[in-house]
């Protein structure tokens, strides 16, 4: 939790030690500052090396301290860096693995920097709704040059140290060495420069660019266009611009003001919430973090359709061999051709190198014979969404798969317990619900059956990280977390049409709120027939759960959406622009007349509240039923899988910000609407309880 101090000959070595990533928390900052002072006071010490224990040099400021007095307690990060930079003896940063955020800023305050090859270097503060607040916007442009520094600060993306070391004229790294040589190289450098004066300080350099003003104006235009709901990126540009127009101290002042202002923004709070939500989601309350994992070296995918192909690509991308199985050769050929086409378009767009494409395709094999997949460590079924078909497939899998293989279903709504019971090994069965397009969407719902073994869960959660998915555990219910909530959202969208809204009005309100796509444009994209099939099932299962019939009327006309050239909107051939449709307007007029409804004007505020609070109320039920482990998991599902605006942190976080008392109060109004669903708008007991106690979900 601190930093250690030791002497290696006449060099003092300070090792940051605050697992898991040496976040620069108060105790660590205090110990590091004390180490510098100790080195200064020891006449035998000629130089100082700062390095990090464990898996990182430093992952930056300790985000867990944000919002607490510790974050700014002295020595705060700025003061610590000032102590380092002001040290009368040379201080060398020996950076390995990860040097991010405040960790990189601390290194920039050192007089010399050595990095191990492959070290990931970044200033990711912008991803938390911030900007580097400990001198990064002033020192990095001076060390690296204006353009590469601005790109790093505005993108927040990590860059390998050896790539940065190749930038002509850069002063970021004095040396880049093999990881196992890092400390020796740092000690050797210390001996080399021990007596060298004046001590080189990044703050004394100037931020180089042949036409800074023009470049910065271009950057402002680009960044402004891409970050309309995020204040931080443009503030990053302003702060970096100060490095070219102001003195170092004036630039530092400007940076500090911007940092403190951004820290207060709701966007920063939401992005920090999302950061921790994503990491919390990977934890399963009753599955120990050190649960042994089953090795996954070979994967089989049953079904080479849109989902099967997309699922396969995730594993190919991670370097894991896949065997795709189908019932007919032409289905296999089609599936392989689609995967090839996807990769080729990535190569064309420069997103994938040609040799990587070939390497991935070489990992793909196909078969029509179940006997060929028996040795796979994991098999994922992605066949037609009908329980009878699943039964046939899982009985065959049970017969051929080796003992210990994980049997996963990509079902989006069917009962994973029922599927598990088609086999003699229900403990090896789990749901892995990918979202279409499966090779693009980050969300993966990991559906835990009653019998699913803990090591199966731990293995799938670790595998999800390897294939770059955001995995969230769901219990078994119809629709799991995401689709169960979206069903209530869609019901409200239908009622709004009945009561007088047009599809475009509802979509505009939802998209103004920040959804990537409103419910009707999304329906036209995904296919309105999918919802139609679910409603038909619902009418049989729950006859007293009423829906607007407008969507059924639409589907009866064959208006399934983009795939049929018309849906809630009209589409021109080959175009995806949603054009308001007179056919749909007439359909809705007739539909309302048949119901005896006089259309009324509905405000955007009511539209958004009914759509979002429907998610919140259903989410509260999911928490109570134990289907979702925590409210932030539900937020993660909606941020990663349903286009909920990131800067609002997710539906449950948004409800907390609005105030649960206010949410419940609005729900009372909706319950009084005879055309809505009074029963649905009864607040879930958990929501009612929290609201009454002025508490929040988180
Ligand atoms: N502070 C505290 N905890 C952190 C942390 C941090 N900066 N970064 C990660 N963790 C925790 C994380 O919550 C998880 O905890 C564990 O470490 C492993 O994380 C003034 C103000 C460093 C690349 O934004 O990008 O400096 O769940 O699963 O995949 O300018 O974590 O295990 O209990 O992600 O190996 C800027 C954010 C801070 C870096 C490691 N720094 N972290 O990835 O592990 S703001 C960041 C990451 C700042 C200054 C400003 C990654 C990683 P738990 P993990 P990983």
Of all protein residues, the one whose alpha carbon is nearest to atom 55 of ligand 1 is 21
- Asked if the model's pLDDT at residue 533 lies above 90, the reply is no
**61 C-alpha vs ligand 1 centroid, how far in Å?**
9
Residues 406, 301: contact at Cβ < 8 Å? no
Which is it for the CA torsion 262, 263, 266, 272, positive or negative? positive
Tokens of 155: 């993108």
1 — pLDDT class (breaks 50, 70, 90): low
- Is the CB of 105 within 6 Å of ligand 1? yes
Nearest atom within ligand 1 for CA of residue 280? 27
Distance between CA atoms of residues 88 and 249, nearest Å:
20
- Radius of gyration (C-alpha) of the chain in whole angstroms: 28
Say what the pTM is: 0.90
**139 C-alpha vs ligand 1 centroid, how far in Å?**
22
Non-local CB neighbours of 384 within 8 Å, separated by 6+ positions: none
Distance between CA atoms of residues 103 and 95, nearest Å:
9
DSSP state of 159: E
Q: How far apart are the first and last CA of the chain?
A: 26
Distance between CA atoms of residues 324 and 373, nearest Å:
9
What is the full DSSP assignment across 611-625?
HHHHHHHHHHHHHHT
154 — pLDDT class (breaks 50, 70, 90): very high
Phi-psi category of residue 514: left, alpha or beta, with phi > 0 → left and psi -120 to 50 → alpha: left
Any catalytic annotation for residue 445?
no
**Diameter of the chain measured on Cα atoms:** 93
Average pLDDT, the chain: 95
Tell me if residue 430 falls in helix, strand or coil: strand
Q: In order of start, what are the domains of the chain with their CATH numbers? A: 3-263 (3.90.226.10), 299-474 (3.40.50.720), 482-692 (1.10.1040.50)
**Rounded average pLDDT over 479-497:** 95
- Asked if the model's pLDDT at residue 371 lies above 90, the reply is yes
Nearest atom within ligand 1 for CA of residue 61? 26
Any catalytic annotation for residue 125?
yes
**Per-residue model confidence (pLDDT) at position 631:** 98
Non-local CB neighbours of 578 within 8 Å, separated by 6+ positions: 504, 507, 521, 524, 568, 569, 571
Residue 454 burial (C-beta neighbours within 10 Å; 0-12, 13-18, 19+): middle
Predicted confidence (pLDDT) per residue in 534-559, tens digit: 889 888 988 888 899 999 999 999 99
**Per-residue model confidence (pLDDT) at position 226:** 86
Beta strands in 368-428 (DSSP E): 378-381, 406-409
Place of tokens 């309309």: 228
Query: 142-151, 161-170, 222-231, 582-591 — which is least confidently predicted?
Result: 222-231
- Asked if the model's pLDDT at residue 310 lies above 90, the reply is yes
Predicted confidence (pLDDT) per residue in 635-647, tens digit: 999 999 999 999 9
- Residue of 1, 17, 18, 20 best suited for mutating to test ligand 1, as the one with most atoms within 8 Å of CB: 20
Distance between CA atoms of residues 169 and 276, nearest Å:
38
Non-local CB neighbours of 241 within 8 Å, separated by 6+ positions: 212, 216
Nearest atom within ligand 1 for CA of residue 60? 26
Percent of the chain having pLDDT more than 90? 92
- Is the CB of 519 within 6 Å of ligand 1? no
CA atoms within 13 A on the CB side of 207: 27
- Asked if the model's pLDDT at residue 33 lies above 90, the reply is yes
**398 C-alpha vs ligand 1 centroid, how far in Å?**
41
Distance between CA atoms of residues 431 and 416, nearest Å:
6
**Rounded average pLDDT over 73-92:** 97
């Amino acid at each position: 939790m601190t930093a250690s101090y030791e002497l290696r000959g006449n060099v003092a070595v300070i090792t940051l030690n605050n697992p898991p990533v040496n976040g620069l928390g108060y105790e660590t900052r205090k110990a590091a500052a004390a180490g510098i002072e100790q080195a200064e006071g020891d006449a035998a010490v000629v130089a100082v090396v700062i390095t990090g224990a464990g898996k990182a040099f430093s992952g930056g400021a300790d985000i867990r301290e944000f919002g607490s007095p510790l974050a700014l307690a002295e020595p705060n990060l700025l003061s610590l860096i000032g102590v380092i930079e002001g040290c009368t003896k040379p201080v060398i940063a020996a950076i390995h693995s990860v040097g991010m955020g405040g960790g990189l800023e601390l290194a920039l305050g050192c007089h010399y920097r050595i990095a191990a090859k492959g070290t990931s270097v970044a200033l990711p503060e912008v991803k938390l709704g911030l900007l580097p607040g400990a001198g990064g916007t002033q020192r990095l442009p001076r060390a690296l040059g204006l353009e590469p520094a601005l790109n790093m600060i505005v993108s927040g993306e990590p860059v390998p140290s050896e790539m940065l070391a190749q930038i002509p004229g850069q002063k970021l790294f004095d040396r880049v060495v093999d990881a196992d040589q890092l400390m020796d190289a740092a000690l050797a450098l210390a001996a080399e420069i021990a007596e060298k004066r004046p001590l080189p300080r990044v703050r004394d350099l100037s931020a180089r660019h042949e036409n800074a003003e023009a470049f910065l104006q271009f950057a402002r235009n680009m960044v402004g266009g891409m970050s309309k709901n995020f204040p931080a990126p443009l503030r990053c540009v302003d702060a970096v611009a100060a490095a070219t127009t102001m003195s170092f101290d004036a630039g530092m002042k400007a940076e500090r003001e911007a940092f403190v202002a951004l820290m207060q923004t709701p966007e920063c709070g939401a992005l920090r919430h999302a950061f921790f939500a994503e990491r919390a989601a990977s934890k399963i309350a009753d599955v120990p973090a050190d649960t042994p994992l089953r090795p996954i070296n070979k994967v089989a995918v049953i079904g080479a359709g849109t989902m099967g192909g997309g699922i396969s690509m995730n594993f190919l991308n991670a370097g894991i061999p896949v065997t795709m199985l189908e019932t007919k050769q032409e289905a296999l050929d089609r599936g392989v051709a689609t995967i090839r086409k996807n990769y080729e378009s990535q190569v064309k767009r420069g997103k994938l190198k040609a040799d990587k494409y070939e390497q991935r395709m070489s990992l793909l094999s196909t078969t029509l014979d179940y006997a060929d997949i028996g040795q796979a460590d994991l098999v994922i079924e992605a066949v037609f969404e009908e329980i009878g078909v699943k039964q046939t497939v899982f009985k065959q899998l049970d017969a051929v798969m080796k003992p210990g293989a994980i049997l996963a279903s990509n079902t989006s709504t069917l009962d994973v317990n029922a599927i598990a019971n088609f086999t003699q090994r229900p403990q090896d069965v789990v749901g892995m619900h990918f979202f279409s397009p499966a090779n693009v969407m980050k969300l993966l719902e990991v559906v835990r059956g009653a019998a699913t073994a803990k090591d199966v869960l731990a293995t799938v959660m670790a595998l999800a990280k390897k294939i770059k998915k955001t995995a969230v555990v769901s219990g078994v219910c119809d629709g799991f977390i995401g689709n169960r909530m979206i069903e209530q959202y869609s019901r409200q969208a239908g009622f709004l049409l009945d009561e007088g809204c047009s599809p475009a009005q509802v979509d505009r309100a939802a998209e103004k709120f920040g959804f990537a796509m409103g419910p009707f444009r999304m329906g036209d994209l995904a296919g309105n027939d999918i919802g139609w099939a679910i409603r038909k099932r619902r009418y049989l299962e729950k006859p007293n759960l009423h829906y607007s019939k407008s969507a059924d009327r639409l589907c009866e006309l064959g208006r399934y959406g983009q795939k049929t050239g018309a849906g809630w909107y009209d589409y021109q051939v080959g175009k995806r622009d949603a054009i308001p449709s007179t056919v749909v307007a007439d359909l809705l007029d007739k539909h309302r007349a048949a119901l005896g409804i006089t259309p009324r004007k509905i405000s955007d505020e009511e539209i958004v509240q009914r759509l979002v609070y429907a998610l919140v109320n259903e989410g509260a039920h999911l928490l109570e039923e134990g289907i979702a482990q925590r409210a932030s998991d539900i937020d993660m599902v909606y941020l990663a899988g349903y286009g909920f605006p990131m800067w609002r942190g997710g539906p449950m976080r948004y409800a907390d910000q609005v105030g649960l008392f206010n949410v419940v109060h609005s729900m009372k109004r909706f319950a009084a609407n005879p055309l809505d669903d009074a029963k649905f708008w009864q607040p879930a007991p958990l929501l009612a309880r929290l609201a009454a106690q002025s508490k929040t979900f988180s």
